[in-house]
Amino acid sequence: MDDHGHHHEGIVDSAASELAPVLENSTQSVYIYLDDEHKSCNKNFAKLLGYRSPSEWAGVKANFPEAFVDPKSRTTLVAAYRDAMEQAAGSQVEITWKKKDGTPVRTKTILVPFIHQGHALALHFITEV
């Protein structure tokens, strides 16, 4: 991994450490997203998508929408993320996620932008419907 990748990994690890009380105590599924390779989630989100652990989920190095989001919800999630990053706008959207085995999971997803160490990240809170 190049220095840029190590730097981004450190950003997500640091953000996850600071947000540990939220990640560990939230009744919702929660994940932090910097980019497709740099992300972190709580146990609830890993379990929701059929992964054994947050580290197994975070270890998936693939196009995020293709790996985790039902095709019908990809445009919605990407647009909400773009609004968060470009306009600092939070949102609540209905997203159908894709479990590890391909099974769809319908949710309400709250997406909130935040800045950590000068980097824009997105914090997501997910509730199955």
Structural domains in the chain, CATH included, are 3-128 (3.30.450.20)
Q: In this predicted model, which residue has the larger pLDDT, 6 or 26? A: 26
pLDDT band (50, 70, 90) for residue 2: very low
Residue by residue, DSSP assigns 99-129 as -TTS-EEEEEEEEEEEEETTEEEEEEEEEE-
pTM confidence score: 0.92
Does residue 5 carry a pLDDT above 60? no
56-85 pLDDT tens trace: 999 999 999 999 999 999 999 999 999 999
